[in-house]
Each structure stands twice: as structure tokens, then as C-alpha cells.
Structure 1
């Protein structure tokens, strides 16, 4: 037998006197806080990564440029305006400061080299003049054969030679002799001149009585005579024939 069931549909009508209910659909907005925070975090991380990448790339470019300048890999090369403009303001200031310091350093170096050239030339000229003067002195001075500073003369010959300094005995004074041997000056006169610190202390005239003549003068030195001394040989025309420098200690 067929199972038969009855379906009952109930319809509710509004009761008279009551307000009609508005059955139109309404939109309700609900914010998902977790998803918003997650999206914001991802955006912040992207911005930080982009900023770090750009900043590090700029610093690397500036470091390469500064190292090239300091190591003088290309001392005559200059940065292009495009390369400088691509850098930020702080990096441009660093690069421009390094370029300015480099230019000043090169300028000072060139000026020092330029200033040193005339000085060296003057010193070189003076040295050459001195050599020429000494050579002329050797050529002209053919009369002086020997000149020796010594403590003693035996049989008209010097015994030993004083080279630089004299050490005095505090108990007694010391004689110092200036021995000279001259040639082709017979009948002429020469002078022995003793000086202390460049000031003439004594001057003695000596007569030459032979074509080859040995003569000498002497001076007594005490402890009070310490200092720088010199003795000179002049001819009658005051031409310097010889000079010895020594120190009394």
C-alpha cells in the first residue's frame, strides 16, 4: 500500500492593528583584525627590505669611489656628474670632501717641489763656486810646500802633527808650533796670524832667506785659552797661502 502523509503549510498573516515587519535583507560589515595586522606586517617588511637594499647599494658605490681616490688607481680621473647625482646628499658631501682634500694635497706637493728647485740650484751653484775657488787657490799657491801644526820642532823639522784638537795639561801651559816650508820666495816676507773665535790675537812677520826655506812661529796656550783657534799663512800681498783650524780643550 502506498504510504500517504499529509503536508501542512502554515502561513502567518499579520494581525490587524500591528506594524508590518520589514523583511528586506540588511548588510552587516565585520572587520577581521588578524588579517589586517598580518597584511600590515608584510607591507612594513617589504618597505624595510627595499630601503636597506637601496641604502646599501648607495654606500657601496660611495666606498668604491673613495677607495679609488685614496689608492690613486686613476689619479687624473674625475667623477661624472651623473654618478654624483645618483648618490644621496650625505654621500655626495663625502665624495666632494675627499676630492677637495685630494686636490689640496696635490697642490701643496707641487708647490713644495717647485719651491725646492731654486734652493737646490742655489746650493749647487754655491758648491760649484767653492770647488772652483779651491782649485784656483791650489793653482795659485805654488810657494807653500808644507804647513804643519805640531807640539815640537827638532832640527827644523816638526815632530808629530796636531790634526783637530789639543788637550791641555792643567798643571802647565803648552807650546804649539806652526811650521811652514816655502819655495821660491827668497828675500820676501810672510806672516803667521793666530786667531781665536775668528779674532786676530797675534801676527808675526817672518823673513825668507832662501829659495827653499823652513820657518815657524809658536804660541803658548794655557787653560784659559780654551776655544776654537786657527792659524794662517799670508804673503806680503796678504794672499792667503795656508790655514789650520784646531780646538783647545
Structure 2
């Protein structure tokens, strides 16, 4: 009888205890690059990217995520504060690298930014100016 009472008390304690908070995870790296090869950016673009006429430029946004296994994040690309596209990613490990890209051409000049969003919260944000010097 005493064992049954102890088991019942432990079960009640387990059911009424507050849930254990899970780590939110971190964005270890976030950067713009001209290409991603073998899951790594080949360079890091600066704060200003100039329009190249006669070409479509592709800009990659790379993130190295830690301790987010099983969750989902999104890269939210914005031009002058207006959302252009939201790209979701399912995170499948404790260290997960993801990237998205945007094709830029003349006429897309302005302030570009990408927010790393998880559960509606912006974890990280980066931006660059796409400038037309003509």
C-alpha cells in the first residue's frame, strides 16, 4: 500500500510540474555570400552590392544554426521593409546550416534585409544596400 501511495504522489508531482524550458538555440553565423559550396559560403559580401547591368545577380543568405533540432525557422527577405518572400526550413540536427537566395537585377535597388524568424520571433537580421550607380 505504501508503494502505491508513493507512486501516486510521484505521478501527481510529474503531472503538475511546470514543463522544462527548451533551449531556443542560436544563430552562430548569418551572412550574405555570392555562392554556397559544400554547405559553406565561399565569401562574405559587404554592406553595399552594386547593380551589374546585363546580368542577373544571385545573392545567398547563409545561416549556421545551433541547438534548434526539430524546430522550424524562416528566412524572410524584405526590400525597403516590405516582405518579398518567406522561405521556411525544418531543422534536422543540433548544428544545421541553411541558405536561401534571391536573384537581383536592375530595378531591384534599395535596402534588402533578411530576418531569421523562429516562432514569430526575429532571432537575427542582416541587410545590404543594392545600389544602381547609373
> TM class, shorter-chain normalised?
0.7 to 0.9
Query: How far is 1:168 from its partner?
Result: 2.2
Match of 2:83 in 1: 200
Query: What is the match of residue 173 of structure 1?
Result: 56
Report the Cα distance in structure 2 between the residues aligned to 1:238 and 1:156, rounded to whole angstroms: 26
Partner of 2:29: 146
Q: Structure 2: 5+ residue runs without aligned partners? A: 1-22
The CA distance in 1 between the partners of 2:24 and 2:113, in whole Å, is: 19
* Contact 1:175–1:218 under 8 Å retained in 2: yes
* Native 8 Å contact 1:151 1:161 kept in 2: yes
Query: Displacement, 1:141?
Result: 6.9
Larger proportion of strand: 2
- Tell me the TM-score normalised to structure 2 length: 0.77
Aligned-partner SS, 1:172 = coil
Aligned match for 1:191, one of 65, 74, 85 = 74
The alpha-carbon deviation at position 142 of structure 1 amounts to 4.6
User: Higher Cα Rg: structure 1 or 2?
Assistant: 1
**Alpha-carbon offset, residue 163 of structure 1:** 2.2
* Displacement over 4 Å in runs of 4+: none
Equivalent residue of 1:186, what SS? coil
User: Which residues of 2 match residues 95-244 of structure 1 at below 5 A?
Assistant: 142-235=25-118, 237-244=119-126
2: CA distance, partners of 1:162 / 1:200: 21
**In structure 2, how many angstroms separate the alpha carbons of the residues matched to 1:230 and 1:141?**
22
Note the C-alpha offset of 1:171. Answer: 0.7
| Matched length | 109
2:128 corresponds to:
246
Using CA pairs below 8 Å that are at least 6 residues apart, which structure has the higher relative contact order? Answer: 2
More helix, by proportion: 1
Q: In 2, distance between residues paired with 1:153 and 1:161?
A: 10
Question: Could you tell me how far apart the structure 1 residues matched to 2:67 and 2:104 are?
Answer: 33
Question: Cα distance, 1:218 vs. partner?
Answer: 0.5
RMSD: 1.4
Instruction: Name the SS of the counterpart of 1:225 in structure 2.
Output: coil
Q: Distance in 1 between matches of 2:24 and 2:61?
A: 18
Q: Where does the alignment leave 5 or more consecutive residues of structure 1 unmatched?
A: 1-139
